[in-house]
Structure 1
Amino acid sequence: MWKQFFRQKPILIISRCSISSLSNDLIRKRIIPYVDKTNYVNELSQTLPKLESYRRAAILLPIYYNEKTNRVEILVLQRSDKVRSHTGMIVFPGGICDLTDRDVIHTAQREAEEEIGLKSEHYSILGCLPPTIDSRAVVVTPVIALLHSPKFTDYCLAVDEIINAFYVDLEQFLYKKNNHKILDVGDHFVTHHFHIDKYHIWGITAYELITLATIVFQQLPEFPFFRHGVHFDLNRLSEQLKMHFQLYVSYEKKAELELQLNKIGGLK
């Protein structure tokens, strides 16, 4: 299965599209078909029991359509240099699931309110994308939220964890320019790195930004998303993400992979 996945013929890149017709309704309609309605982690646990032992986490992907600028923006945070994990990184609101959380959506909502004061009344939940996994072997579920107007900027930062919150333009994560780099990790994986203004955006944050931009704009990135030159396919994007997740979970040299990911994280 993996050989077939990584030997796909590269898909032709779609030229830059016009975003003149975007709206909240259109964004919602484009995202909904990619929402994971099957709870893939639980489904995969039936064939990969070791998944049950993995810790679970959730992140909130807060999208804002700016009618004044006709741009799609997404809210991200900068972690403090004093925290133990993901030190100084650009991240989405989110964290480890608590036993008292109803589900991963509740986890993402709770963490967003705790970290920056973003309450559920400020957005509508559209659903979850297929899961991914971080270098600590934590299963992470992305939860997509469509922010209401007016634009949320009344940040109440948990200063012991978060030192900044800001919006980034989503469309830029489809293009190479001079700020994008792909680094190989092991035999089957890559990490995407963007240098935007003074920020280094990489890891799961870059992974989800590229994925979300591909879905919202219905446009393929100018670069391959996966290892071995494999591009996204809009018709089977959800399947590709699930296969990529399963490959990571099945990867036998996890310790080696984690070491390489940590080394890459130190690159500036």
Structure 2
Amino acid sequence: MVRALGRAGDRSSDFDLNPEVKLPPGRKLRPAGVLLGIDVTGTAPRVLLTKRSSALKHHPGQIAFPGGKQDEGDADVIDAALREAEEEVALPRDAVRVLGTMPAHETVTSFLVTPVVALIETPFTIRPEPGEVEEAFAVPLDHLLEPAHYSVQSRRWRGSQRHYFTVPYGPYYIWGATARMLRAFAERMRA
């Protein structure tokens, strides 16, 4: 896994499946880090995800990685991802071992999100922060690595048809940036 993460790769984008979208040159992207945390404390590896609070202004109720924007006090996007995971689901920093990062992903909300891949090696009690996280859950890594589980869907957004990746699991509809980053991770692990 570490070797796969070390390979060079291209950034991804919410616009990958929508080549007709023309992005403005010189746009300002805000750095962010998300934790692609693989829990290896059980019988099979599972990826930690959250369901965002329905009360949030941006992306309410969507499935996401723990994480968020890089604050001034963060050393880098890795530090931001670890801080946010601790705030959002009570994941202690010393329970994880960071393996590396994936190429950054540009979102429609003008963030440049770096997925931080880490192993969760120590059991911990998930405590969702109620203002941000409605629920935290885990998806088997095998499910997310299987190409057949991904599909492309679309919906109207801002007056045009927008295509995006999905990787549903049980009652969870994982789509958009989260599904795109998971698909990029799966592709990297297969290469």
Shorter-chain TM band: 0.7 to 0.9
Aligned to 2:38: 63
Pairing partner for 1:162 from 112, 133, 137? 133
**SS of the counterpart of 1:142?**
strand
More strand by share: 2
Structure 1 position 181 matched with structure 2 position 151 = yes
Alignment match of 2:57 (pick from 58, 62, 84): 84
RMSD: 2.7
1:112·1:118 contact (CA, 8 Å) conserved in 2?
yes
Offset at 1:184?
5.4
Which string of whole-angstrom CA distances, capped at 9 and with x for unpartnered residues, describes residues 128-185 of structure 1? 1110111112111111111114x43x012210110111110122232435xx431358
Contact 2:54 2:61 in 1 (8 A): yes
Could you tell me which of 108, 114, 123 is aligned with 1:135?
108
1:66/1:215 Cα in 2 relative to 1: closer, same or farther (>3 Å)? farther
Q: Which is higher, the Rg of structure 1 or of structure 2?
A: 1
Aligned length: 173
Which amino acid in structure 1 is aligned with residue 26 of structure 2?
A: K
- Supply the AA of the counterpart residue of 1:50: G
After superposing on structure 2, the runs of 4+ consecutive aligned residues of structure 1 that deviate more than 4 Å are: 184-187
Q: 1:211 aligns with which of 166, 184, 188?
A: 184
Matched residue, 1:146 = 119
Between Structure 1 and Structure 2, the one with more helix by share is: 1
Aligned mates of 2:75, 2:187 — CA distance in 1: 30
Q: Which whole-Å CA distance do the structure 2 matches of 1:32 and 1:125 have between them?
A: 11
List alignment gaps of at least 5 residues for structure 2: 10-23
- Indicate conservation of the 8 Å contact 2:50/2:63, yes or no: yes
Deviation at 1:209, TM superposition (A): 1.6
The structural deviation recorded for 1:212 is 2.0
Aligned to 1:171: 142
Aligned to 1:100, which of 58, 65, 73? 73
1:63 and 1:75 map into 2 onto residues whose CA distance is: 6
CA–CA distance in structure 1, aligned partners of residues 181 and 80 of structure 2: 18
Q: 1 CA distance for matches of 2:188 and 2:112?
A: 22
SS of equivalent to 1:176: helix
TM norm structure 1: 0.58
Contiguous gaps of at least 5 residues in structure 1: 1-26, 37-47, 219-233, 235-268
